[in-house]
Amino acid sequence: MTFTVGHYLAERLTQIGLKHHFAVTGDDNLVLLDQMLAHGGMKQIYSCNELNCSLSAEGYARVNGAAAAIMTLGTGAISALNVIGEAYAENLPVILISGISSANDEEAGCALPSQIATVGPIIVAAEKINSAETAPKRIDQIIQTALCEKKPAYLEIPSHIADQPCVRPSAVFVP
């Protein structure tokens, strides 16, 4: 099996002890969610909206020490900000992951802009994945920073990159 960016993310989240991640499906994160499911290391828990998804992740982080929530860019991620702000105040490492439009959509002017500046004040780190080659390093940095600082972090993964091949992660992840 070829290892993809989505598999890499799932493997790293599994290595930090997550057995579940929370998700709201949307056009720009379907490829990523498919890759997370194909990995098989975590159970995907669906929510009907982003507020519920982020609340579930925040509660999971309180019990398990960390959590991940996957949603779409735009109103999806913005709806999660109240809870992410609470996670910041409570020192909870919740990793908010937004599936974003592909490079083709960006070139055509049909993509929403990155929300890194919007979420900046209530997260400890943010990254937009620009290539499958750099994805492993960026994913590791986000997870490591969230765990070490005990604060939320934010990651944007374009739909055309989530299923692209990348290197396999090391057998052990040490934050």
Taking only the tens place, the pLDDT of each residue in 73-119 is 777 778 898 999 999 999 999 999 998 765 555 555 555 556 667 77
8-56, pLDDT tens digit by residue?
Answer: 999 999 999 999 999 999 888 999 999 999 999 999 999 999 999 999 9
CB atoms within 10 A of CB 146: 29
Contacts of 40 (CB under 8 A, 6+ apart): none
Token look-up 């765990």 returns: 147
What integer pLDDT is reported at residue 104 of this predicted model?
53
Residue 42 within any structural domain of the chain: yes
**Token output for 111:** 């993509």
Percent of the chain topping pLDDT 90: 71
CA distance 156 to 166: 17
Residue 2 has pLDDT above 70, yes or no: yes
CA distance 20 to 42: 5
117-147, pLDDT tens digit by residue?
Answer: 777 788 999 999 999 999 999 999 999 999 9
**Token output for 34:** 């498919």
Residue 127 within any structural domain of the chain: yes
Q: pTM to 2 decimals?
A: 0.91
Backbone angles phi, psi at 65, to 5 degrees: 95, -15
**Token output for 55:** 């609340």
6 touches 133 (CB < 8 A): no
- CATH number of the domain within which 34 lies: 3.40.50.970
**Token output for 25:** 């499906």
Total of domains in the chain: 1
Could you tell me the residue range of the domain that residue 149 belongs to?
A: 5-158
Which amino acid belongs to residue 14? T
CA distance 124 to 143: 11
CB atoms within 10 A of CB 109: 6
Q: Terminus-to-terminus CA distance in the chain, angstroms?
A: 27
